[in-house]
Amino acid sequence: MKQVLGGFFLMAGVLVHGQAPKYSNEFLHLGVGANAMAMGNAVVASCNDVTSAYWNPAGLAEAKEWLQVSAMHSEYFAGIAKYDYVGLSHSLGAKGTLGFTFLRFGVDDIPNTTQLIDNDGRINYDNITTFSAGDYAFMGSFARNLKVQGLSVGGTVKVIHRRIGDFAKSWGFGLDAGVRYLRNEHWRFGLVARDATSTFNAWIFNLSQDMQQVFLSTGNDLPSNGLELSLPRFIVGAAFTHPIGSKDKGFSLMTEIDVDVTTDGRRNVLVSSNPLSLDPHCGLMLGYKNLVKIRAGVSSLQKYQSLDGTSSWGMQPNLGVGIGFKAFNLDYAFTRLGAADAGYYTHIFSLKFNIAQPKKK
């Protein structure tokens, strides 16, 4: 009985784990844009396009295009999980810039085997159905420049919907805030407060009597309605850009270092303490004008556990390249997920379009 229900209790374990405040809404921290992922997600100081609505809403103030559109699709764990992103930004001129972001991280066609064994004790494969588990986020952002030269601020309102088949669903609400300072043509600084006021998810469970009996007969606790909180996370970053050779040649080198400061206790990161943990990551970009950009980054500095039970320090390497042509950009990232000895790598592509304001007839 326990073996045939393994697929479903994978989902049940997510429900139970999801009630803890640590690692809540982690899909919101995967990142967007292959350009940022190739740099180890170290972009809160340098981001200045439509993806800023996700990374640092203050960076939207530098997105001066009438309309900018970005999209990304990636797959995790050999295609089991799918992650999709669409972003829009619209410049209001001196009034500021608006942004919209949509995210979905989901696993589809999960077998529901709770009714595999019928009332007569026989295995009936016709009773197997499938369901999807999906996390959704809808974000609205606004940014503008302040009177202080080089200083901009921005904020994001986000609505979160998480759904696991017909068994459980939640709605949540949260706020992000960011500030960005361009000191000169070389130095940029950024600060983001994600879930600034804490983000909540209100969970509602709808389990049939038969399903509740399966939980109890296999020694599992029944999940109950409740409130899940995501505590604030602060990200501070500094970026330095310098031309290579004379400016008219168009070559430049940019590097950025970011530090994530989480407030939910000890995490498996470089500096783990209670209640604050520090997770540094950095990126490097070599560019030729806006035509070609080569990127590399390091993230996830933490202890990785091997199958034999031993652990060692490791990191996640990231590489990528970007190509731009007029109003179009194509970015690619090659990155690893999981432990160093797992050897699992993934390819991520993202697109970005600049659309000019239609001319009045």
Can you tell me the distance from the alpha carbon of 340 to that of 317, in angstroms, rounded to the nearest whole number?
Answer: 10
Q: Facing residues of 111 across strands?
A: 130
Can you tell me the distance from the alpha carbon of 70 to that of 335, in angstroms, rounded to the nearest whole number?
Answer: 20
Can you tell me the distance from the alpha carbon of 35 to that of 296, in angstroms, rounded to the nearest whole number?
Answer: 10
Residues 6+ apart with CB under 8 A from 176: 57, 139, 155, 156, 158, 192, 193, 194, 195, 196
Tokens linked to 126: 């016709």
Q: Amino acid identity of 356?
A: A
Residue with tokens 């606790």: 221
Separation in Å, CA 175 to CA 70, 143, 249, 274, 291: 22, 14, 42, 24, 35
Q: What is the pLDDT of residue 130?
A: 83
Q: What is the pLDDT of residue 229?
A: 86
Cα 173 to chain centroid, rounded: 16
Residues 6+ apart with CB under 8 A from 208: none
Per-residue pLDDT of the chain (361 residues; tens, 9 = 90+): 333 333 333 333 444 443 445 677 888 998 999 999 999 999 999 999 999 999 999 999 999 999 999 999 988 777 788 999 999 999 999 899 999 999 999 998 888 777 777 767 778 777 788 888 899 999 999 999 999 999 999 999 999 999 988 888 999 999 999 999 999 889 999 999 999 988 888 888 887 776 777 677 777 777 778 888 889 999 999 999 998 877 777 899 999 999 999 998 888 888 989 889 999 999 999 999 889 999 999 998 888 777 777 888 888 889 999 999 889 999 999 987 654 455 567 889 999 999 998 887 6
pTM summary value: 0.84
> Could you tell me which CATH class the domain 6-355 is placed in?
mainly beta
Q: What is the pLDDT of residue 343?
A: 55
Q: What is the pLDDT of residue 349?
A: 93
Q: What is the pLDDT of residue 125?
A: 77
Tokens linked to 147: 């009177």
**Smallest Cα–Cα separation from 283: which of 247, 251, 320?**
320
Domain boundaries, the chain: 6-355
Q: What is the pLDDT of residue 329?
A: 94
Q: What is the pLDDT of residue 21?
A: 55
Q: What is the pLDDT of residue 18?
A: 39
Residue with tokens 């993202």: 350
Q: Please tell me the number of Cα atoms within 13 Å of 314 on its side-chain side.
A: 17
Can you tell me the distance from the alpha carbon of 200 to that of 172, in angstroms, rounded to the nearest whole number?
Answer: 5
Separation in Å, CA 345 to CA 5, 41, 103, 316, 336: 30, 16, 22, 10, 4
Q: Would the CA dihedral through 135, 89, 75, 36 be positive or negative?
A: negative
Q: Three-state secondary structure along 39-52?
A: CCCCCCCCCCCCCH
Query: CA dihedral defined by 125, 3, 337, 101, rounded to 10 degrees?
Result: 50
